[in-house]
Structure 1
Amino acid sequence: MQTNPRAADDHQSPEDAPGSLTLVGAVSLGTGVMIGAGIFALTGQTARLAGNWFPAAFVAAAVVVALSAYSYVKLSNAYPSSGGVAKFLREEYGPGAATGVFAILMYVSMVISQSLVARTFGAYVLQIVGLEPVSLWVPVFAIGLLATAFVVNVAGNRAIEVSQRSMAAVKIIGLGVFAVVGLWLASGANFTNGTSAAGLDTSAEGFLAAVALAILAYKGFTTITNSGGDIVDPHRNTGRAIVIALGICTVVYLAIATAVAGNLSLPEILAAEDFSLAEAARPALGGAGVWFTVSLAIVATASGVMASIFASSRLLAMLTRMKQVPHRDFGMPGTVRIHATVYTVAFAMALAATLDLSRIAALGAIYYLIMDIAIHWGLLTRLRDRIDFNPAIVIAAIVLDVVVLAAFVWVKAADDALSLYVAGAGIVVIVAGERLLMRSHTRADGTMDM
């Protein structure tokens, strides 16, 4: 299908503030999403799939994501923008349904991560508040966090950078203390004890499925690409911020996962699946350790939600400007970006109120991996003449994504087929809606008004 030539470069959003986000701020933004979403939300779930090998699943996920990040660094250096993934897909596939479908999958996976982290926030708060029933108060606290994050995001880039920089420092220092103490007091017996006692039948596909989940703990690096229009010297600093953020998080995840494995048996980790870090602090540090870990989790998850809303609302605003999604303001004041923030938070609240942590994580992993494969494939097949890159690295990223996605779907088909039905239904709705929307932009001669 032919398209009309665009009169101007559309990678810059009218609301962008070039130079308003420093390299340190961009790194803080990325680590804010990753650490908030990853180690607190997913440790127990990866242990359920990988058994005693769950710390290794985080290492394997880091390898997969490092290869994936190569494509994003190359694309970010070539096309820095607040649209990030949306801009990359537009350059790869052109305007139309393909770009819209894959970009919306990314957007949905980001909102899913927000609801995942928000519910994790609620689960940790309840370890010191003690309200019942948990099924009520977890979503209540999650919705409260999302509302607070909305206020901070509406305040603007400066508020986001200041909050993320301070919270990132607290998280990294705090988790460092947790890891050092936890490793110092770890019991070697816990590293090899408990898989059979927990009733788990671990397998290669279970380990690979755990890797797929652990990838969610790193995917926050894409948040940095959605801020390319605001970063100082974006052609240079966007890629640098991605590499630095991934390096920090890999070290933190490995240390924390090992500390948890050394202080709790596998049955104990699974019993405290949604708040395993707090439980791991109890043997080593007692009640004070639980309070310390929960406080750290509150800071980490809060900053993760704030940073993710910042990025996903910009992605949605860019898709709106590209006419890849419809837009209605319903009488709301403010810019398209403000409206996108409202829609994003409302969507995340709905997910946090209705889905549990394991199902939210499953949807996020499936949607993100599909989109990630599309990014690599588009770079490999459509941008070879415009961007200098090593095809072998991109092909390796595609192969690893396909392997872990296939393993995850295989495992979920056996123990939670409903997750796959929900994921499939979501994809059908997105594809059908996007194709219908594209018809409204297509003229009789086949050209598109985009």
Structure 2
Amino acid sequence: MTGLARRLGTLDATAIGLGSMLGAGVFAVFAPAAASAGGWLPVAILVAGFVAYCNAVASAQLAAAFPSSGGTYVYGRERLGPWWGFTAGWGFVVGKTASCAAMALTFATHVAPGAARPVAVAAVVVLVGVNLLGITRTAFVTKALLVFVLLVLALVIALSLVDGPAADPEAPGPVGPLEVLQAAGLLFFAFAGYARVATLGEEVRDPGRTIPRAILGALACALLLYLALGLTLLHTLGAQRLSQTTTPLATAVPEWSAVVTAGAAAASLGALLALIAGVGRTTLAMAREHDLPHWLATVHPRFAVPHRAELAVGAVVCVLVLTTDLRAVIGFSSFGVLVYYAIANLSAATQTGTDRRRPKTLNIVGVVGCLLLAATLPTGSVLVGLAVFAVGLAGRALTAS
């Protein structure tokens, strides 16, 4: 069986991780998070960031010990057993496939609101094609899009602070700890890309050194940026107005809306590109172990990519784009990925000796944090998430018997 090629360095890996986060975090979750947390939005960002840090520590520690494609699917199998690995992999594949649809719709909503669904499908087709050309093409395009997005976000922050606050016509309602936790759970959707490089572990040079640096570096950059943007948007729009807009950055600087729209498009494409790559690699890993159809385990002999897995992911994403709503998938995606990282923390907690790089306490806190945020998500997201996990586990039980 042809293997994947180690072609990514630290900069490439960090760019893929950061690029995976910015499309979701900047242009999709601030408004629904503000609707829950109100003026406590920065606290929700910090809570989500701390849980993400615990998960990042666990992912980095595990990825250094098991540098192969699949992320927590592989770690769960190796440290806890096949059923744990399957649960993690299933949560990642279904949750992140939903995220792909969200990013495609975010892109299309900004550039062609009158024809969002067909444009979103076209974007998926093009980016699957880019991924099929090899991981170095994916990294190059991600870095180019990321530079442009960072420039746009810096411009928004600077102009918003110069223009000063806009009037907030209504005071937000009372906010308690439950609402802050719910907002943190939604915001976790924005942090979930930091460990994307772990799913590409088989394609990273010197993985024991590169993967931990890339994961923690991408997370640190994203957290600082999210805090800056959250504070800026609260200052400029106020909590009530922020919670009611679907385009908060463009609303904050309306005279620069065309530039912000271009930034939103670039961020969404960058996130979508990296998401397709990550889901394809986890699908490859699950297919190798017959947890998904084994024909998906093929690696292209020339481009060294899991081409069948990526084509299958692209097809499913296109179906979701044509049938789902943008905001509806955020909570469901967060639920699936929180379960995924809870298993990552459990797996890391079993490591000992030279494999352990951080205190075990962080792993325990990570498990509790993930489960708490998952439980406080909107009820509909929790119920759908539980149903999807039940279907996946039942399917594995039937095929394994």
TM-score (norm 2): 0.93
Q: Could you say which residue in structure 2 is the equivalent of 1:387? A: 355
Say which of 78, 99, 105 aligns to 2:85: 99
Q: Could you say which residue in structure 1 is the equivalent of 2:154? A: 176
Residue type of the alignment partner of 2:3: E
Residues 42-191 of structure 1 mapped to structure 2, 5 A cutoff = 42-94=29-81, 96-126=82-112, 131=114, 137-187=115-165
CA separation in 2, counterparts of 1:194 and 1:148? 43
Residue 213 (1) aligns with residue 186 (2): yes
SS of structure 2 residue aligned to 1:216: helix
SS of structure 2 residue aligned to 1:82: coil
Question: CA shift at 1:309, angstroms?
Answer: 0.5
CA separation in 1, counterparts of 2:216 and 2:300? 38
Question: CA shift at 1:385, angstroms?
Answer: 5.8
Residues 194-213 of structure 1 mapped to structure 2, 5 A cutoff = 194-196=170-172, 200-213=173-186
Residue 40 (1) aligns with residue 40 (2): no
Residue type of the alignment partner of 1:187: P
TM-score (norm 1): 0.83
Question: CA shift at 1:201, angstroms?
Answer: 4.6
Residues 273-422 of structure 1 mapped to structure 2, 5 A cutoff = 273=246, 275-282=247-254, 286=255, 289-328=256-295, 337-380=306-349, 382-384=350-352, 387-388=355-356, 389-408=358-377, 412-413=378-379, 417=380, 419-422=381-384
Say which of 366, 373, 394 aligns to 1:432: 394
CA separation in 2, counterparts of 1:176 and 1:265? 20
CA separation in 2, counterparts of 1:235 and 1:195? 50
Task: Spell out structure 1 runs of 4+ moving beyond 6 A.
Answer: 331-336
Residues 200-279 of structure 1 mapped to structure 2, 5 A cutoff = 200-273=173-246, 275-279=247-251
Where in structure 1 are there 5+ consecutive unaligned residues? 1-12, 132-136, 440-450
CA separation in 2, counterparts of 1:364 and 1:80? 25
Question: CA shift at 1:327, angstroms?
Answer: 3.2
CA separation in 1, counterparts of 2:140 and 2:340? 31
SS of structure 2 residue aligned to 1:38: helix
Change (3 A) 1:195 1:232: farther
1:355-384 CA distance string (max 9 Å, x none): 21222011111111112112212332x433
Residue type of the alignment partner of 1:107: V
1:133-182 CA distance string (max 9 Å, x none): xxxx3322221211111111111112111101111111122211211222
Give the number of the structure whose alpha-carbon radius of gyration is greater. Answer: 1
The aligned length equals 397
1:377-433 CA distance string (max 9 Å, x none): 2332x433673241111111122222222222xxx23xxx3x444222211110101
RMSD: 2.2
SS of structure 1 residue aligned to 2:202: coil
CA separation in 1, counterparts of 2:157 and 2:57? 29
Contact 2:2 2:300 survives alignment (8 Å): no
Contact 1:309 1:344 survives alignment (8 Å): yes
SS of structure 2 residue aligned to 1:246: helix
Contact 1:51 1:195 survives alignment (8 Å): no
CA separation in 2, counterparts of 1:395 and 1:428? 25
CA separation in 1, counterparts of 2:215 and 2:372? 24
CA separation in 2, counterparts of 1:78 and 1:232? 14
CA separation in 2, counterparts of 1:260 and 1:188? 10
CA separation in 2, counterparts of 1:90 and 1:182? 48
Q: Could you say which residue in structure 2 is the equivalent of 1:3? A: none
